[in-house]
Structure 1
Amino acid sequence: MTEGLPMEIPVADLPPRIRIHEVGPRDGLQNEKAVVPTEIKAEFIRRLAGAGLSTIEATSFVHPKWVPQLADAEQLFPMLDGHEWLDDVALPVLVPNARGLDRALALGARRIAVFGSATETFAARNLNRTIAESLAMFEPVVARAREDKIHVRGYLSMCFGDPWEGPVPVHQVVRVAKQLMDLGCDELSLGDTIGVATPGHVLTLLAALNEAGVPTNTIGVHFHDTYGQALANTLAALQHGVTTVDASAGGLGGCPYAKSATGNLATEDLVWMLHGLGIETGVDLGRLTATSVWMAEQLGRPSPSRTVRALSHKE
């Protein structure tokens, strides 16, 4: 092993290549209390692309009142246009409703995401709607996006546990996931919002989704590391055949509903594991680590990623 690279020892029956859906600029930054300058966000995205990430979730077109950190979406998105490094990079954006879609399309967005919940309590708290009402809100958004040949991702939060309702029954998640996909979403991201999933739970849910008609090749996984299970859960999903994994550079982000949450799965930690398994990602781990070190300096605190700390020799 050379410094900064894991020993590569493949494991049978794992996917040969994984697409990392980088969520740092959106999900990672949205809970930051101090507003990050738009120019820094644009540079963050540019550096992530330079590290080889091919899907980078750029921002969210929610009402500024609800997510002040992302109130600059109209200013940020045009700053990303017209650069050579964007030729092979997808920049999905989150849209909550028809108004958000209008704003995104006006700036030329070609990939969008809607954000639903598997539980009624979180749907009420996050969207101020029931699950049924939120799906009804998404329906025209997805339909219009498909008419314009826009790729649509459907996020489903609280797929494993909810801080108010406790463990979420698998059949409940499958029911809502199927309804979300039936709207016409191209992709489903399963969110372990408070980080309580374990590998057996992951495999059981994935199998149940397949039985309900949701194919594995349309599923992505989005794990939080609250209980240190994110990589174990990711490996279980890979063993099932999942090839899309959400992660956040430097481990940015977290869940406001779990005080012990350590945030999203760090992209560097994920890449270290995948490269050790001989799985291609297209990511330069050194450049990615340097990007997260730089971003941590902008935020004024060290990165929570263990791999970033190890490779940058900072504790």
Structure 2
Amino acid sequence: MGAQLRVYKQKISSAQTTKKITKAMELIAASRIQKAMARVKASTPFARAVTRAVSAVATHSNVQHPLTQEPEVIRRSAVVIFTSDRGLAGAFNSQVLREGLELAELLRSQGKEIAFYLVGRKAVGYFQFRKLASIAQWTGDTDTPQFRTAEEISSELLEAFGRGGENDGVDEINLVYNRFVSMMTQTPETLRLLPLEIVESEGDVDDHAVYPLYEFEPDAETVLDSLLPVYVQSRVFNALLQSSAAKHAATQKAMKSASDNADKLITDYTRLRNNARQAEITQQIAEIVGGADALSSAK
């Protein structure tokens, strides 16, 4: 009985220590999520504005720009997967990796070769463990993403897109990341970045509405040359920020669940310890009474 009591005490102590760690991580994630949400909120209007500007130039001009023109044959597709550098975030990384691999299978079924670009140590570790090839990797900047990381990723993607699938580059670019919906919901999302096929509108399109005419200085091609790198950078940076906010929310939710489970374990083991201690006391009383009876019978 004494050994059993010691086991229960050790398990209770272990659960209490685990609860302290998970509670601290939950509080840290809660403090970071507000900053991450503020950065997403600040970057989203700029990304939308740049997207509308690029869409306007592409829609209202007759220029055939390589970044907006659909190639006749798409030989090679880039899939950029955004994960985190750290775990303890529930299904955050597994669901975006699954989404990226499912997209890759779909593109392969269409006869396209896949080029993976990985963001975050979890994606890198996943691909290394399964011996899957990747073109480029970026790690160490997923908790609080900096714009220079988005610039590096965008530069690599645009350089590969400029070469084209025939010259060991890519013909299209797809981003796969977790989008922050709410504190309880983070959904994997796929965005086809290039070639540009985005025309955003607010509400329903009015067939009888009069839309403005656009003039471009010095010309539409020069405007596109200047806008498209900014568009790619803004979209990649927004994906990094969305993934960061979603990761902190997922961590907070996972650590809250872990703390609740630790509380349940502590309650269960405390009950078992009390039962074992009561059984030990009962056994000791029974032994005393039995010994007293034996002494009285001997007289």
Give TM-score, length-normalised by structure 1. Answer: 0.26
Greater relative contact order structure (CA < 8 Å, 6+ sep): 2
Structure with bigger helix share is 2
Give TM-score, length-normalised by structure 2. Answer: 0.27
* Structure ID, larger Rg: 2
